[in-house]
Amino acid sequence: MASKLFVGGLPFSTSDKELEELFANHGKVASAVVISDRETGRSKGFGFVEFENDDEAKSAMQALDGSELGGRKIVVNEARPREERPRNNGGFNR
């Protein structure tokens, strides 16, 4: 079963590849994605890493939570399911 981790506090210059390389030292990474703003394409400073193995994900979380990357202290937690939010209709109620 795959385990997904949330990674916060990333330097805005971090790429998907750099995120994957950081976590690959702790196991087989299935995917690594830095989240970007839709309009500007600029990183939002967080991302998600998915491992193929739960034990490897836990090991990575313990090893990397609180570590530094690019001069910033990163936070690594288990990812929670995305919360559904009401759609914004541009301020118009119909």
Instruction: Quickly state the pLDDT bin for 14 (edges 50, 70, 90).
Output: very high
The whole-number average pLDDT for the span 7-28 is 96
> pTM of the prediction?
0.84
pLDDT at 84: 76
What tens digit of pLDDT does each residue of 18-68 get? 999 999 999 999 999 999 999 999 999 999 999 999 999 999 999 999 999
User: Distance between CA atoms of 16 and 50, rounded to whole angstroms?
Assistant: 12
* Phi, then psi, of 55 in degrees rounded to 5: -65, -40
In the chain the first and final C-alpha atoms are separated, in Å, by: 44
User: Distance between CA atoms of 70 and 12, rounded to whole angstroms?
Assistant: 9
pLDDT at 23: 96
In this structure, what DSSP letter does residue 86 have? P
CATH topology (fold) of 3-78: Alpha-Beta Plaits (3.30.70)
